[in-house]
Structure 1
Amino acid sequence: MTQQPPPAAPADPPDGPAPTELPDRVARIYGEFDLSTVPAFAGGFINFGYWKGLPGPGRELTRADRVRSEEDLYRLVLGTFDAPRGRTALDVGCGRGLGCALALREFGLGTVIGLDAHPDQIARARETHADLLDTSADAPGRLEFVLGAAQRIPLPDDSVDCLFSVEAAQHFRDLPGFARETARVLRPSGRLALTTFFARTPAAARALPELLPPYADGLDVPHVVDEVAATLAAAGLREVRVRPIGDGVWESYDRYMAQQPELHDDEWPRRYLTAYETGLLDYYVLTAAAG
């Protein structure tokens, strides 16, 4: 993605072309390959999951547990917003929009906008949630999906109360652009909640491509968590907080994968636990307030 300064006004219409070209690996994984259909993710979600409160080592983890872990990661993030009922939320990197629908259904938001840079994902989201897109239907709120990139959000200034992103920022090539756009579209009382996995240190970021193929093949970027927090603050966001949650992610995810050997062709998907245990990466929730 190019390093363009963010616009001060809406960029492209919701149904227009993606504002920037996606890296080849990202385009393939979320396009023709459709990562949301991989059994390791279950239910159409694409995240490692938050497993607190789910069965411990005494019982085998099921597909239902896997789906619950993915939903619970959204619940953890959405739970950071104070009094979201009736407000407008933006999900950056929405995929099939399952988290958007959960936000609308369980948190009482008035409008949830799902943003994704891949046109195939937007098409899938609209098909999956056609009932919630029907404005004439008796729905708990309004849901819509918009094509656009994280560093060039096609929404007006001061248009969003809650901006959240679940396991998408590891793909962002232009984190400063995303931070500036977040500061631009958030209303003065708005809040950001972001969760994904980041490198713990610059040295860890350099080591990760040797351990995990998604960093080596261009799918993921080994952003350093402290640098991400500093980037948000530099864009004018306040009260930037970083909370590690890896103790509720990596061990249980790895246990689920170990119990489902048919879900992967080789051993590398289980190296995330190794990366966590050796101090290379962790899973985090970052929150911030509009400036």
Structure 2
Amino acid sequence: MTGDDEVAVVDGVPSRVRAVYGPDDLSSVPSFGGGFINFGHWDGIPPDPERPLTVDDRVRSERDLYRRVLGALAGGRPRGRAVEVGCGLGLGCALALEEYAFDAVTGVDIHPDQLARARRANAELLAASPDRLCFARGAAERLPLPDAGFDHLYSVEAAQHFRDLRAFAREGARVLRPGGRVAVASFFVPDDREDAADELARRLDSFASGLDVAHPLPELTGALAEAGLVEVRAESLGESVWPGFDRFLAGVDLPVSWPRNFLGAYRDGLLDYYLVTATRPPAA
């Protein structure tokens, strides 16, 4: 975890996370069109490589990544109560309510500015369905939620910011009811390669600055198993994420060039994008 020990933490929020999701407002950056903050799931993008990808294509990719994650919960037929950890602007919470049969969704985020934006972005839905959507401030490692209060827990492209995956896994197991499901989508180092953190920091400013942490995938899958969850599975989504995202970036006027290095890091085996799922065992 290159630089992690040097990242200042104020009120529970690492300094770089506070800046990027506070005054810098990552959701307003052109590479994250539509207010979602994820790299997108690009299956089904127009096949013509000569046609530049549009903002509409970008937003669809971001929504489709949420659909890929939510579809992994309960065989694509989720019911009951769900919590999103690292909800950002809450647009994924709204999508979950609009397109899936959740009774209610709680969005949790560590950053107060993001929660304020989420409440503004979802003001109409909050007013119309106050019993179905709510937002709460809290860290992934210490969720402000009751024991066994949720049927599903999901997280979309936030786990790369979590400082303690074992604590997150324990909290996930705690707040899930027996039989509840976890689905986490984010980017990880595929294995325990020792030079990965340093090499990622050299290529990608988000790792060099401490915004992202070079977690090996086995760190998360092992943590979920240690927390007592079963059926822990990891599926690579890299080919559905990185080439499409890079193709979109090729048509964006970026102030910096380093985001184009994500595709190279994936091609070189330093990084991959995964959907990780697990289940809390049913009650005996």
Q: So what's the TM-score if we normalise by structure 2?
A: 0.91
Q: Does structure 2 conserve the Cα–Cα contact (< 8 Å) formed by 1:109 and 1:141?
A: no
Summarize the alignment of residues 41-190 of structure 1 with structure 2, pairs less than 5 Å apart.
41-56=32-47, 57-82=49-74, 84-134=77-127, 137=128, 139=129, 142-190=132-180
Distance across 2 between alignment mates of 1:211 and 1:40: 18
SS of structure 2 residue aligned to 1:259: coil
1:287 aligns with 2:277: yes
Q: CA deviation at 1:79?
A: 0.2
- Match in the other structure for 2:6: none
Summarize the alignment of residues 7-22 of structure 1 with structure 2, pairs less than 5 Å apart.
20-22=11-13
Farther off after superposition, 222-231 or 84-93:
84-93
Query: Over residues 242-269 of structure 1, what are the superposed CA-to-partner deviations in whole Å (9 max), with x where a residue is unaligned?
Result: 0001000111110110122x1x112211
Q: CA deviation at 1:54?
A: 1.5
CA gap of 1:64–1:120, structure 2 versus 1, over 3 A, is same
**Alignment length (residue pairs):** 269
Q: So what's the TM-score if we normalise by structure 1?
A: 0.89
Q: CA deviation at 1:58?
A: 4.7
Query: Which of these residues, 258, 265, 268, is aligned with residue 268 of structure 1?
Result: 258
The letter for the 2-side match of 1:290 is R
The letter for the 2-side match of 1:234 is E
Farther off after superposition, 68-77 or 81-90:
81-90
Give the share of equivalent positions with the same residue, in percent: 54
Query: Which of these residues, 244, 248, 251, is aligned with residue 259 of structure 1?
Result: 251
The letter for the 1-side match of 2:138 is G
The letter for the 2-side match of 1:101 is A
Query: Which of these residues, 31, 42, 67, is aligned with residue 22 of structure 2?
Result: 31
State the superposition RMSD in angstroms.
Answer: 1.7
SS of structure 1 residue aligned to 2:222: helix
Q: Does structure 1 conserve the Cα–Cα contact (< 8 Å) formed by 2:148 and 2:177?
A: yes
- Match in the other structure for 2:4: none
Distance across 1 between alignment mates of 2:257 and 2:165: 30
The letter for the 1-side match of 2:156 is V
1:218 aligns with 2:210: yes
Gap runs ≥5 in structure 2: 1-9
Q: CA deviation at 1:213?
A: 1.0
Q: CA deviation at 1:189?
A: 1.2
